[in-house]
Amino acid sequence: MTCAQCGKPLSFNEMGLNRKLNANAEKLCMACMAVRLNVGEERLREKIGEYLAAGCLYFAKEDGGSV
């Protein structure tokens, strides 16, 4: 799975963010999603932390290093 905007390979957590935050069919990396949703990347990282804390299985602490 790669970003529909820039072609960057998506990490596990980025795919999780797409499931949670991006209702569009196209999947986006964190940087492109931040632009699309008009939020900072830092805010997206915070959301990952929140979902992790909530036990959401779409996210993992170790994601292969691209976040």
* Contact residues: Zn ion, CB under 5 A: 3, 5-6, 8, 29, 32
- The least distance separating Zn ion from the CB of residue 6, rounded to whole angstroms, comes to 3
Task: Say what the alpha-carbon torsion angle 62, 27, 40, 16 is, to the nearest 10 degrees.
Answer: -30
Closer to Zn ion at the Cβ: 1 or 6?
6
Per DSSP, the three-state class of 7 is coil
CB nearer Zn ion, residue 14 or residue 53: 14
Measured CA to CA, the distance from residue 45 to residue 50 in angstroms comes to: 9
Nearer to Zn ion, 5 or 22 (CB): 5
